Structures are given as structure tokens and as C-alpha cells.
Amino acid sequence: MPKRGCFPFPNNNPPQTSSLINDPLVVGREVDVAANELANLLIFEKVEEKCRVFAITGMKGIGKTTLAQKIFYHHEIENYFNVKAWACVTQTYSEIELLKLIIRAAKGSHGNTKKKIELQNILSNCFTSGQRVFLVLEDVRRADVWNDLLRVPLHHANISVRVLVTTRYEDVANDMEVAYTHQVKELSIESSWDMLCRFLDKEKELAYGSLKELGVKILERCRGHPHAIKSMARVLKKIFTWEEWQNVLLDDTWSISSLLESDP
Ligand SMILES: Nc1ncnc2c1ncn2[C@@H]1O[C@H](COP(=O)(O)OP(=O)(O)OP(=O)(O)O)[C@@H](O)[C@H]1O
Ligand SMILES: [Mg+2]
């Protein structure tokens, strides 16, 4: 039985994300619908415009990165774009490394250059004319990564660029003058239960079935936040009786915010 007050498991380091996704664990029709819609917009909206920025917003742990990963590997995105790059630009990113990453994605060469202005010049010239470029900027905290660093060099290249930004901050999306913002919504209770079950012990599936009623009540306290559900799954995974799940439900020492502070 989990001890009362065993939440949270604090972790203050923002992770460096990659484009890789553990697809079998992703649940919810919500994610598929949003991925299809955004892929459609990225490809078909105002094709004549050279640069367009789209944003995925929402609070911590709501599923922004997961959705962006789905879009990055969406079959239509794979087919349409010639160059794709995924860059995590959380608080402490390096401008130089970011410029180099995009140059390499375009099969360009930056040699040993370490000067920002030179790398921006290389970036402007490393694409083949008419190429379609898809760039994900993940976990953006400040608009200047686009406004001051990438916008001008990419505008000067003779290409079509679609940028997908994920950010917790609406202001950042507004400052980047995004063409469209998708706000990630909470998972439904049905999807929340589905998600919880995927993170529980497969061999104990029958036992969990009889705990669904309590599980749903616990999930109502998680309010459809995938990060919170995942943290809760780590607790519920270790307990199998009605009384133990009831104790978790009645435990008032945990809250959605304490679950969001723990490792997902
Ligand atoms: N639909 C889903 N199905 C299963 N797991 C999910 C789903 N959405 C998110 N998750 C999981 O929940 C956790 C939080 O999701 P994610 O990292 O996408 O959130 P985020 O909004 O990017 O958070 P942050 O603001 O901290 O970057 C991750 O471990 C992710 O794998
Ligand atoms: Mg994220």
C-alpha cells in the first residue's frame, strides 16, 4: 500500500526531447484527430506563403510533445516535406548548435564555423531551390529563437518553410505571430482509463477490471492530464486490492500539481 503523503517525486530538470515516439503507449482518438488536422494545415494552408509558423500550446504535461512527435512521423508529412528537423530549444539551448542542426538536416556543411552570423548565412544558402522544409521547435520559452535567429535566414532561402512550435506559453506563440494555434485538451475519462491500463501490469489485467470504478474516480482527480495519469500509474501499478486503491482515492496529500512535479 502506498504510504500517505508519498507524493510527489520532485524533478525540476526539463528533459531534452527527441522526435522519437513510443507509439503503442499513446492513447486517445483526440491525439489522432489533432495530428491529422495539423498535418493537413501544415501542408495545405496558404501554400503560396514562404514561411508559416504553427503552435501547439497547453500546460505542462498535457501532451504537446507527444502530439508534435505524431505529426513529425505522420505519413503525409513524411511524403510532403523534403527536409525535416526536430530541435529542442528549452531554456538553455545553444543558438550555434541549433543553426548547425538545421544546416545538417538540409545536408549542408557548417565546417568549424562558430560565428552566428556566418552560420545564418550558410543556413540561407544550404537549401536547394523549391525545397519544402518542416521544422519543429520544441518547448520554446522565448520568441527570439524564431524572431531574431531563424526567421530572416529562412526567409531569404528560396524554400517553403513550415515551423511547428510547442510551448506552454500563449504569449510566446503570439509574439511569434503564428498562423494557427492548437491548444491541447485534456484526455476524456475513457482515454484516461485506457492510458492508465497501458501503464499497469499486463498480467494483473483481470484484477484491474474490478477496480475500474475506483480507478475512474482517481482519474477524475487527474483531470485528463497524461503526465499526471502516468505518475499515478506508477503508484497504482504496485497495488491490487480494492482497499489500497480506495486509500489512494481518499488520500488528500496528493493533487494534480504534485503529480505534475514528479517524473512522468
Ligand atoms: N495521448 C497520450 N497517451 C499516452 N501517453 C501520453 C499521451 N500524451 C502524453 N503522454 C505521456 O504523458 C507525458 C507528458 O506528455 P508530453 O511530454 O507530451 O507533455 P508536454 O505537454 O510536452 O509537457 P511539457 O510542457 O512538460 O513539455 C509523457 O510521458 C507522454 O509520453
Ligand atoms: Mg514537452
Mutual angle of helices 95-105 and 116-125, in 10-degree steps: 20
Kindly give the distance from the C-alpha atom of residue 43 to the centroid of ligand 1, in angstroms, as a whole number: 25
Ligand 1 close to Cβ of residue 27 (< 6 A)? yes
pLDDT tens digit sequence for 58-101? 999 999 999 999 999 999 999 999 999 999 998 888 999 999 99
Q: Answer yes or no: is the C-beta of 132 below 6 A from any ligand 1 atom.
A: no
pLDDT band at 204 (very low <50, low <70, confident <90, very high): low
Cα 26 to middle of ligand 2, angstroms: 14
Ligand 1 pocket: which of 16, 57, 65, 89 to mutate (most atoms <8 Å of CB)?
Answer: 65
What is the pLDDT at residue 7? 40
CA 126 – CA 100 distance, rounded (Å): 11
* Residue 230 Cα to ligand 1 middle (Å): 9
Only one residue has cell 512550435, namely 165
Nearest ligand 1 atom to the CA of 58 is 21
Domain spans, the chain: 29-183, 189-261
Atom of ligand 1 nearest to the CA of 226: 12
Strand order in the sheet with 51-57: 83-88, 132-138, 160-167, 51-57, 180-183
- The whole-number pLDDT of residue 6 equals 37
Decide: 264 in ligand 1 pocket, CB within 6 A. yes
> What's the grid cell of residue 29?
482518438
Nearest CA to ligand 1 atom 31: 66
Tell me the Cα Rg of the chain: 21
Of the ranges 1-15, 33-47, 80-94, 169-183, which one carries the lowest mean pLDDT score? Answer: 1-15
Provide the percentage of residues in the chain whose pLDDT is more than 70: 89
**Res 3 pLDDT > 60:** no
- CATH topology assigned to domain 29-183: Rossmann fold (3.40.50)
Ligand 1 near 224 CB (within 6 A): no
Atom from ligand 1 closest to the CA of residue 27 = 3
Residue 8: is the preceding peptide bond cis (ω within 30°)? yes
Whether 22 shows a pLDDT value over 80: the answer reads no
In sequence order, what are the residues at sequence separation of 6 or more whose Cβ sits closer than 8 angstroms to the Cβ of residue 98?
A: 87, 89, 145, 149, 150
At residue 209, the pLDDT reads 72
Q: What is the mean pLDDT of residues 188-212?
A: 82
Ligand 1 atom nearest to CA at 25: 4
Distance CA 65, CA 19 (A): 9
Cβ of residue 31 lying under 6 Å from some atom of ligand 1: yes
Mutate to test the pocket of ligand 1, among 187, 227, 259 (most ligand atoms within 8 A of CB): 227
Q: Does the pLDDT of residue 1 top 70, yes or no?
A: no
The pTM of this model reads 0.91
For ligand 1, whether the C-beta of 226 sits within 6 Å is yes
